[in-house]
Chains A and B, each alone.
Chain A
Amino acid sequence: AQSVAQPEDQVNVAEGNPLTVKCTYSVSGNPYLFWYVQYPNRGLQFLLKYITGDNLVKGSYGFEAEFNKSQTSFHLKKPSALVSDSALYFCAVRENSNYQLIWGAGTKLIIKP
């Protein structure tokens, strides 16, 4: 069965430091992986996705994610965190041939000035 794990409920980072939000997945076929961000009282915003090819995917707002097939991970990263990056981040996976997304529980990212 497909599954996604975001092992950290909350991540705290100082402004200006690099940030990583972790995501691991389990699918039986080729994974298609997504990151979304949710600001308070808002819907989810698409950040980036991995389909195939280069393992480093660049997305919106300076975020990038690294796909690691051997570790079945798709961690979200940013070289220098901003206070405005504070939000809830969701990882999702889709297995090929199935349109339904499987969602992680979300990670709250707090960037402190």
Chain B
Amino acid sequence: KAGVTQTPRYLIKTRGQQVTLSCSPISGHRSVSWYQQTPGQGLQFLFEYFSETQRNKGNFPGRFSGRQFSNSRSEMNVSTLELGDSALYLCASSTRRTASTDTQYFGPGTRLTVL
């Protein structure tokens, strides 16, 4: 079974631009979670989508948004990029059947650099 895929793997943008990242979950997984990872802040939860609805949201400004499509693929968008948005953006998928057994599986990440 193919793993979680994320595109693109690397991105370089300038301040003020916007960016869209894509995540394709493992087949059969209907939940997609997004995380931001930086050396100083560690792993920060952005949001989770399940059945095309945002189920949980972390403490990020409204410049960060996401959506999920009917095939469970998800995109996240960051508008008006700031230097501090430079990070590794990770997506994880899971089945979300039960809270006890649900396991997240991660993609390789998208490395975003904002200049």
Contacts and interface: CB of A to CB of B under 8 A. Distances in A.
Interface of A: 30, 32, 34, 36, 41-46, 49, 51-52, 90, 94-101, 103, 105-106
Interface residues of B, number: 25
B77 interface: no
A97 B92 CA distance: 19
Given A46-B104, A101-B45, 16 more contacts: A36-B106, A44-B92, A44-B106, A45-B106, A51-B100, A52-B100, A94-B99, A97-B99, A98-B99, A99-B31, A99-B55, A99-B102, A100-B45, A100-B48, A101-B104, A105-B42
B64 interface: no
Nearest to B41: A105
10 contacts: A43-B90, A44-B106, A46-B104, A96-B99, A98-B99, A99-B48, A99-B56, A99-B102, A100-B45, A101-B104
B45 to A, nearest CB: 7
A46 B103 contact: yes
Contacts, number: 54
Contact of A99 (B42, B90, B96): B96
Nearest to A97: B99
Nearest to A30: B100
Contacts of A52: 100
B53 to A, nearest CB: 13
B43 interface: yes
A34 B103 contact: yes
A60 to B, nearest CB: 12
Given A51-B100, A51-B101, A42 B43 contact: no
Interface string B25-60: 000000101000000001101001000000110000
Nearest to B58: A100
Nearest to B104: A101
5 smallest CB-CB distances across A and B, nearest first, come from A43-B106, A44-B106, A43-B108, A103-B43, A105-B42
B101 to A, nearest CB: 6
